[in-house]
Amino acid sequence: MDSSSRQRRLTAAAITALAVAVTATACSSGSSSTDAQGAGSGTYSIWDPYPQFDKASDWAKLLDQCGTKAGVKIKRTGFDTSDLGNKTLLAAQQGNSPDVLIIDNPVVSTLAEAGVLTTTDDTELDTSKVDPNLLAAGQSGGKTYGTPIGANTLALYYNKEVLKKAGVDISSVRDWKSLTAALAKVKRAGKKGITFSAIGTEEGSFQFLPWFWGSGAKLTELDSAQGVSALTLWKDWLKNGYAPNSVLNNTQTTSWQEFASGDYAFSENGTWQLANAKKAGFAYGVLPIPGVNGGNAAAPTGGEFVTVPVQKDTGRYATAQKLATCLTSTTNLYTTDTTLSYVAPTSEVQHKQVAANAELQPWVEAVKSAKGRTSDDLGTKYPKISEQMWKAVQSALSGSQSSKDALTAAQAAAK
């Protein structure tokens, strides 16, 4: 793609596609200057979605260290995740893009298709150590746009005491049938089964995807028999009282609050709740979400990619590549991913994380099985598919349509 086409006027479709909400990281709000290019070639700008980290934070210090190593000064700006995509599109229109952009992984393909990002071929950024399933979230049209800085995903937290009183051995929970049997036992014991988020937003799709993919379904065919079986699983859980009706309005935060009450056996939630789990006041464990017939279901990956936006002065790419390489080096990934509660994107660093904290083992397993929402070359098609998916989930769980009818309508609309 030549530079003129890359810098073409960005379409409304690209901006619409950025409505994909970030579900995996709960960053606090913050604001900062939106100046992109620093003064002079000796200053390089980095934009990130971590406004909660101030100048005194380890993250800000790492950016400065990487700048010093590359022989440049760093001008860093932290944005709220929801603002960063649109700010990046606007900067590209104005020819004022940052040198390095750290962006939520579902947005990468949107920015790539809009001509905003360079490929790893352009910058010679080495991604050879990255797990292929994680790298796929930043791939579109056979090209790779950046490298992941870390990943998080979904799994099942469980309350050990609730399961013990219900006579459930967690090792028996291997597939959908055995999980549902465990929920039935918990209900008979007078406790509550499972809570999750089925809200009519991207969060609802994010939480439904492990079951959808775990059935063997594909996002290009929402109304397949497998997809219908996944939605029917959830619908039956509500009908039988194994899951509360509140899931229709639950965010991942309110769903977690239900689990933290101590009454529920299971909660579908993410790595980002680990700190809260330790404060919950009861013994808990973590289980990768099972597939319909066993094994680990593919859960969607959250987390960011380190990317290099297109510049008029292509001579800046060499230093931008050095900065991106420094941020994702083995040593720095370990420190950063510990700070962000992320699983590292390389096996080498994952081993270090588990050696330091054995509780991360089920999360590493979940991430190994995880999948990008825009993988399979869905790119900017994903937000439209996702919207129809969450509408179908809402329709089926509220009782207004059968699982089959809801997903048939969703598939027709997604086309």
| pLDDT tens-place string over residues 94-151 | 999 999 999 999 999 999 999 999 999 999 999 999 999 999 999 988 999 999 999 9
Among the listed residues 140, 134, 151, 94, the one whose alpha carbon sits nearest the alpha carbon of residue 117: 140
> Which pLDDT band holds residue 380 (cuts at 50, 70, 90)?
confident
Per-residue model confidence (pLDDT) at position 321: 97
Structural element, H or E, at residue 193: strand 192-195
Instruction: Label residue 27 by pLDDT band (50, 70, 90).
Output: very low
> Rounded to whole angstroms, how far apart are CA atoms 214 and 347?
23
pLDDT for residue 34 is more than 90: no
Provide the token pair at 197: 């988020």
pTM of the model: 0.85
What pLDDT score does 397 carry? 98
What integer pLDDT is reported at residue 31 of this predicted model? 34
Architecture of domain 3-151+303-369: 3-Layer(aba) Sandwich (3.40)
User: What's the pLDDT score for residue 66?
Assistant: 96
DSSP string, 235-284: HHHHHTTSS-GGGGT--HHHHHHHHHTT-EEEEEEEGGGHHHHHHSSS-E
Same fold across 3-151+303-369 and 154-299+378-414: yes
Q: Mean pLDDT throughout 330-349?
A: 93
Top-confidence residue, 2 or 404: 404
Please report which confidence band the pLDDT of residue 337 belongs to, taking 50, 70 and 90 as the band edges: very high
Give me the mean pLDDT over the 353-368 stretch: 95
5 pLDDT more than 50: no
Residue pair 62/56 in contact (Cβ under 8 Å)? The answer is no
Q: How high is the mean pLDDT of the chain?
A: 90
The arithmetic mean of pLDDT across residues 214-231, rounded, is: 98
Q: Give the domain ranges of the chain.
A: 3-151+303-369, 154-299+378-414
- Residues 268 and 285: their CA atoms lie apart, in Å, by 12
Is 52 in a helix, a strand, or coil?
A: coil
Q: Where do the H-state alpha helices sit in 270-401?
A: 274-279, 317-327, 330-340, 347-356, 361-369, 382-397
Angle made by CA atoms 68, 311, 135, in degrees to the nearest 5: 75
**What's the rounded Cα separation, in Å, for the pair 296 and 342?**
19
3-state helix, strand, coil in the chain (%, to 5): 50, 15, 35
Name the CATH topology of 154-299+378-414.
D-Maltodextrin-Binding Protein; domain 2 (3.40.190)
Each residue of 236-283: pLDDT tens digit?
Answer: 999 999 999 999 999 999 999 999 999 999 999 999 999 899 999 999
What H or E segment, with its residue span, contains residue 84? Answer: helix 81-93
Structure tokens at 299: 């859960």
Residue 338's pLDDT band (boundaries 50, 70, 90)?
A: confident
Q: Look at residue 376 in the predicted model and tell me its pLDDT.
A: 85
Q: For residue 370, count other CB atoms closer than 10 A to its CB.
A: 32
C-beta contacts of 335-339 below 8 A and 24+ residues apart: 335/58, 335/62, 336/59, 336/62, 336/149, 336/150, 337/149, 337/150, 339/58, 339/59
Of the listed ranges 40-54, 119-133, 322-336, the one predicted with least confidence: 40-54
User: Does residue 212 contact residue 402 with C-beta atoms inside 8 Å?
Assistant: no
Q: How many CA atoms lie within 13 A of 394 on its CB side?
A: 16
> Cβ contacts of residue 182 below 8 Å, gap of 6+?
163, 166, 168, 172, 173, 265
- What's the rounded mean pLDDT across residues 363-372? 95
Count Cβ neighbours within 10 Å for each residue of 230-247 and write b for 16 or more, e otherwise: bbbbbbebbeeebbbeeb
Of 1 and 381, the one with more pLDDT = 381
Burial class of 9 by CB neighbour count within 10 A (0 to 12, 13 to 18, 19+): exposed
Of the candidates 11, 25, 70, 29, the one whose C-alpha atom is nearest the C-alpha of residue 46 is 70
